[in-house]
Amino acid sequence: MKRDIFGELMEGIEAMREQREGKVTLRAHRLEHRPLPAVDAALIRATREHPDTLERLAEL
């Protein structure tokens, strides 16, 4: 069965509207701020040559 991405987005927008109006309480999550990694030509080249580079970078 194919997902209805547009329908899911609209459902989320409706839920946000209802939260602003005080009709529902949505779960909220706090995320720790992580700085963006430095991207240079060497990283781009390594990523193209070895696609698992991004996975290893994400583990840092």
pLDDT in tens, 39-60: 889 888 888 888 776 676 666 5
Residue 59, pLDDT score:
65
Provide CB contacts within 8 A for 24, sequence distance 6+.
15, 18
* Total-model pTM: 0.46
Q: What are the φ/ψ torsions at residue 31 (nearest 5 degrees)?
A: -115, 145
Q: What are the φ/ψ torsions at residue 59 (nearest 5 degrees)?
A: -75, -15
